[in-house]
Structures are given as C-alpha cells and as structure tokens.
Chains A and B, each alone.
Chain A
C-alpha cells in the first residue's frame, strides 16, 4: 500500500466534489483524509487536499481525474 497526496484545483460546480470522490473510489483508492476550501467566493474555485492509498499505481488515478471536466489542476506528491 502506498500513500499519495493529491492537490486538486477545480471549479466548484454542482456535483464536482462528488465526481472527484467517485473516481477515487471507483479506480481503487481509499481516502485517508480530505480537506476542501473555497479559494474565492466569487470565482467559485475550490482547493482540495486529499490523501489516498492503494496498491494500484497513482498514474492510473491521475489520468482518470484529469478527465473530469471541471478540474483545472492536479498535483501529486508521494
């Protein structure tokens, strides 16, 4: 099992957070902790800090998260 830190910036549209969490679950990763903040009330951007773990390689999750329409930036640290 390896742990990874995800830093995600996304447009806070209706359902975006749920989409992100669903992809994390569906692609075989479990969430250790999650922190969400709104960057700016006007532009409706949110910043997510999520710590996940899995036996699967993180590139698999990264490439699937990138496909979510409202995500603008993803950074991953081991």
Chain B
C-alpha cells in the first residue's frame, strides 16, 4: 500500500465518515486512493467551500470535520476557513498535498510554504517528512484537534510521501491526555461567593456546547434560578422559556441583558472569553461585579478581565458541583421587570417585509430541531436576536472571524452531518455571492437545504456604520447590481420565489416548508433598515443606541 492508501485507512480507523475537498496535482495520489474506497468524499467547487462545510459538519455534530486540498492555491484557499475554525475553536483536520520533498523550497509549480502559513491560523500543523511518521501524526492530529479547547490542525503531505509504498506501518496510540485537575480550594470559594451574592448573572458561551454540558447547564439554571445571558456562540444552551433568561448580551444584545449585567454583583462566566463584541468598553463592563471565570483554556482566565476566582476545568464536571438553590427572589423580580419593560415590540408598519418579524415567524413555524446557519452581517444579528434554537449545535454562524460566505457551505456540511434535520441557510445579498458556486454541491448531493436570502441591495452592516459613524458617506456599500437571484439559483435546478410584501410571507413559508428538496426564498427588505440596539465602539454596554425611525430616501 502506498502512503495515500495508508492515509485513507487511518482516517477510516479514526471514525471519519465524510471528507470534503477538491483535487489538484499535488494531491492526486490521495484522490486515487479515495477512488472506490470506503471513505465518502464530497466534491466542492472551491476549497473555501470545502473547509467551511467541514466547519458546519463539525459544529452540527461536535466531532472533527475533515477536508482536503492540493498544494499552492488549494492550500491558500483554506486559510480563511482555518482562521474561522481557530477563532471559533472548531475541531478541523485539513490535509493538503505538497510538492515532492526535494522540490520544497525551490518555488516549484503550485508550491507555497503551507506550514509557514499555518502558524497564524491553526492550533497546530504537521509536515509529513516520511511515510513512517504518518501513524503518529494522524493520531496526534485528531487528539490535538479535539482535546481541551478544540481547533484546526493542518497536515501537509508531500507527493512523494503519498506515493511511497510500504508493506506495514506500525500503529501509534496517543498517550492518554492529562486530566485537568480543578482546584478544590477555588471551587469552594466559588460556591461561597455564589451563595453570598444578591444579584448574580450567569454569562455563558460556546464552551457549554463544546464541553457537551448543555444538560448540566440547564439543570444548574433550573435549580439555582440564576438569571442568564448568552453570547452568539452560546445561543441554544439555555431554554428560551426559562423565566430569567435575558437573551444575548453585547453590541447587538438585548437591552435587558446588558442592563442586568451592568447592575449585577456577581458575574459567573462559563465557557466564554470576554470578547469585545460582548463587553463594549472593557473597563466599563459589569462594573459592580465580582467575577468567577470557568474555562478549559487557562490562557483565557484573566486575559481581558481580572477574575476574582479563576476555575480552570471542564464545565461538564464542575457545573454539578456548583448546583445549589439560591435565595435571590428580589433580583429575579427585577429581571422579570426588565424583560417586560424592554421586550421587543414588533410594530413595523407598511407593506414591506420587516426582517426581525419575518425571522421570528420562521422560528415559530420551523420544526423544533431545525439547524440554522447564517452568513455575516445584519441578517446574522437579526437571526440571533429574534430566533430560538433547540441546542447550540442548531445555530451555526461565523462568530469570532465573522467570515462572509460561511452560511451556504456550512449549511451543506450540517445537512450532510444530519440528513434527517431541516437545515435553513439565512444569508444576505453580499455574503451569498461569496460562495454561490456551492449551489452545485447542493444540486449534486440533492441536499434539501432551504435558503433564505435577505436582500437589501447593500453591504448592510457596513452601510449602517457609515450612516451612524461616517456621516452617511456610503462608500462602496451599494449592491444594486445584484443578479436576479431566483433565476441564478434556478440554473442549479433549485426552485424558488421572490417576495417583497408582508402579505406574501405566509404563502411563501408554507411553500418552503412543504418542499421535500432544496428551496430558495428571495426576500426583499428596506435598504435603510438597521440592527438595534447597538452599542457604539468605545462605549459602555449601558449606552445603547435604540430603535430609530428614519425617512426613506
């Protein structure tokens, strides 16, 4: 067997069922080994589509996504996806072909220093210098990708190594990972501090889903009665009907969430990293609160906000040890009051479609375990604010990197991972064009993905900032020359329709949810619609700008 065949074999041994990729010269031996093998490969039309699909797959299943690409341009096309996986801590194995070993460093055809590029955008990377290194590298790669804080791993394999024939390869078994021992002292201190607090808030994020501790968290919230706020990656962790759940906090968070955090005397931060989209001006964030920070990554503890108690550990293990009933009824009453006072009023008048209401309608109508993927921008924020998700794995959105073009391939990855779930991709007219070529993949694999395109003929979020902070100087944010989207999508054999009026919504959604196969809904909205509330850059979360009405030009 040659190196390529050994690679396929070891991926199968690791439990990999699907890989996503695109062929090329330097990776041909691997594609030859794939031909007729037991490992299913899904062909994309751009390597970026392949890696973003791997991310969608990984996020829908909490297990590694695998993608492959050739050398040079194939590898460079993976970079955005690797950076996305790094910032959102997603387990990805990216395998790239490389020019033959003796040509490395000679500026050969389709050669680029892939390992050099990987340093800034991966958790770790490997160059396979000889076939005998392969078992150890594969084993280590899967180990590192998933352990503790997950992340992307790149494996660069020169063509000659792929072609090397070898009778037998010694299997390698990674050492058992060191268990992370939490500090009993810190745990006791945390229990005491929580018990003493009068106005605690639980601030949760991506770490909950990634540590598979959603059920422990919900039990904790139920028994303690603690009010909760969530980051973008944490949405779906807390059940929506929890009476003290305040929703998303931060730059586009709910007003009640931000105000409660500014007032709280204890911030229990679990699986979060005090990101700037969440905190606003950092030294004004939760000014009255002591902080208990629980995370698996020691580098996050005290990185941005000094923690009174830092708990290095696994949320799944530690949440049950913190679960005790609390006596905070007057704070709970305040939370109910805030939720009622600031709850969103859907009072949009006129015939045109109002995205927040529209998305809320979809959320109510869709099957409960639907997976939503989004692209990046205003539609993304509206989806986060107005839709409900069953679990964190049901809301897949590029959070840390915020990469446009993510939604469609991520939906493909998620649908392949969970073929029995309804998958809806919500996109914008800017983002949709960035990986539109992947409509071919939907056609090829007959994926029943529902695509909803919120079209304001603008690069919406940027336009909003130009309106608010750059004196309405709308530089390069007009997308008034979009193609006819329904015609474009129909050329990939995907049916669809275009709606512009509120009265058309019910019929369109019925049509969409009745479809057995893929469907496309093009939704035109007012180009001047903005996302509210908004915390301006450099401001405290208490200084939110709220809904403003403005004249249509």
Question: Which positions in A face B, CB cutoff 8 Å?
Answer: 14-15, 18-19, 22, 26, 59-60, 63-64, 66-67, 69
Interface status of B124 (Cβ within 8 A of chain A): yes
For B115-154 the 0/1 string (1 means CB < 8 A from A) is 1100110001101010000000000000010000000000
Q: For the complex formed, measure the closest distance between the CB of A50 and the CB atoms of chain B, giving whole angstroms.
A: 17
Known A-B contacts A14-B127, A18-B116, A22-B119; the reply to A66 vs B144 at CB < 8 A is no
Which of A60, A63, A66 has the most CB atoms of chain B within a 10 A radius of its CB? Answer: A63
Interface status of B164 (Cβ within 8 A of chain A): no
CA–CA, A46 and B116, complex, Å: 20
Contact B119 A69 (CB under 8 A): no
Known contacts A22-B120, A26-B120, A69-B124; 16 further A-B pairs (Cβ under 8 A)? A14-B129, A15-B115, A15-B116, A15-B125, A18-B116, A18-B119, A22-B119, A59-B302, A60-B303, A63-B298, A63-B299, A63-B301, A64-B299, A67-B297, A67-B299, A69-B144
Q: Using a Cβ–Cβ cut-off of 8 Å, how many residues does chain B contribute to the interface with A?
A: 15
Residue of A at shortest CB range from B149? A67
CA–CA, A22 and B297, complex, Å: 20
CA–CA, A26 and B121, complex, Å: 12
Contact B303 A14 (CB under 8 A): no
Q: For the complex formed, measure the closest distance between the CB of B339 and the CB atoms of chain A, giving whole angstroms.
A: 37
Contact B299 A66 (CB under 8 A): yes
Query: Please, which residues of chain A bring their CB within 8 A of the CB of B120?
Result: 22, 26
Query: Please, which residues of chain B bring their CB within 8 A of the CB of A63?
Result: 298-299, 301, 303
Q: Given A14, A18, A66, A69, which contacts B298 in the complex, CB threshold below 8 Å? A: A66
Q: For the complex formed, measure the closest distance between the CB of A52 and the CB atoms of chain B, giving whole angstroms.
A: 17
Q: Given B119, B301, B303, which contacts A19 in the complex, CB threshold below 8 Å? A: B119
Contact A14 B299 (CB under 8 A): no
Residue of A at shortest CB range from B118? A15
Residue of B at shortest CB range from A69? B124
Q: For the complex formed, measure the closest distance between the CB of B306 and the CB atoms of chain A, giving whole angstroms.
A: 11
CA–CA, A64 and B302, complex, Å: 12
